[in-house]
Structures are given as C-alpha cells and as structure tokens.
Amino acid sequence: MKDLLIQIVKALVDEPDQVRVNEIESTQTVVLELRVAKSDMGKIIGKQGKTAHAIRTLLNAASGGTGKRYVLEIVE
C-alpha cells in the first residue's frame, strides 16, 4: 500500500525525490504519513481537498480484502 501511495504522489508533484511515506501499523489500522516538498503541498491537497480525498478513496479501495483500515495523513 505504501508503494501505491508513493507511485500516485510522485506522478502528481514537481519534486518526486522529496516524497516520503512513513507507515505506522497497529492491529486494525495503518497510518500513512505523507511528506512532500512545501511547493508541492497544494498539488497534493488540491482545491477544497479534492485530490487528497481522491487519494484516500483509492487507498480504501485498494485495501479491500486486507481487513485493515488505511489512514492518510499529510504532514508538513
């Protein structure tokens, strides 16, 4: 799932080498902390948060059979 998130985000940003994802796993939930360059922050969030919401939707769809809940946190 981490690799999927990295691939999606790198396609959206201007500085793909600045993309970092930290995975924090518990029994039923996995938190993915996303860090990008400050100049790319707006591209990840999108207008009214639509891009971030779309990424979260893709993560939820991809995690279908795993039995875990994936949470995306965009960290500055």
8-50 confidence digits (pLDDT tens): 999 999 999 999 999 999 989 999 999 999 999 999 999 999 9
Number of folded domains in the chain? 1
Helical pair 2-12 and 50-62, crossing angle rounded to 10 deg? 150
pLDDT in the model for residue 64: 83
Q: What is the CATH number of the domain that holds 60?
A: 3.30.300.20
pLDDT in the model for residue 58: 93
Task: Give pTM, 2 decimals.
Answer: 0.89
Domain limits at 24? 2-75
- Cα 68 off chain centre by: 16
